[in-house]
Structures are given as structure tokens and as C-alpha cells.
Amino acid sequence: MPAKSKAQQKAAGAALSAKRGETKKSDLKGASKGMYESMSEEELEEMASTKRKNKPDKVSDDS
């Protein structure tokens, strides 16, 4: 599933980095912490690799 916003892509990248052991799990906050716990490395990689062009900075929860 591709990221819907730049913020979501960034959170997925942080969670992916922790999954791979490149950063500490304890450094994760907010959405990235939830993504780390609920998504596989493959799902995070797909979301983090989404193109950023024409993506909004954030997407509201109701969309």
C-alpha cells in the first residue's frame, strides 16, 4: 500500500530503519512506533518507497 502523504512516508521510513536494526526502536514516536509494531518489513518498504512528488504534507484522519 503506497503512502498517502509525505508524513506517512517519513514515518514508514523511520519504522523500517528500526526494523532493520539501523536505528533504535526506542527512538520511534507516534505513528512510526505503531507502524513498527503492526507492519512487516515488506509493507514498510513499500510505503516508504512511495514517490513524494504531488503528495500532500499530511492527510486528515477522515479521508
The helix (run of H) or strand (run of E) holding residue 17 is helix 6-19
User: Which of residues 27 and 62 earns the better pLDDT score?
Assistant: 27
Provide the CA 53 distance to its chain's centre, in angstroms.
Answer: 16
Question: Does a structural domain hold residue 40?
Answer: yes
Q: 30: domain range?
A: 6-47
Question: Does a structural domain hold residue 14?
Answer: yes
Q: Which amino acid is at 32?
A: S
Q: What is the pLDDT of residues 5-55, one digit of tens each?
A: 999 999 999 999 999 999 999 999 999 999 999 999 999 999 999 887 888
Q: Which amino acid is at 44?
A: L
Question: Does a structural domain hold residue 57?
Answer: no
Question: Does a structural domain hold residue 62?
Answer: no
- Closest CA relative to residue 8, chosen from 62, 60, 40: 60
The confidence score (pLDDT) of residue 61 equals: 63
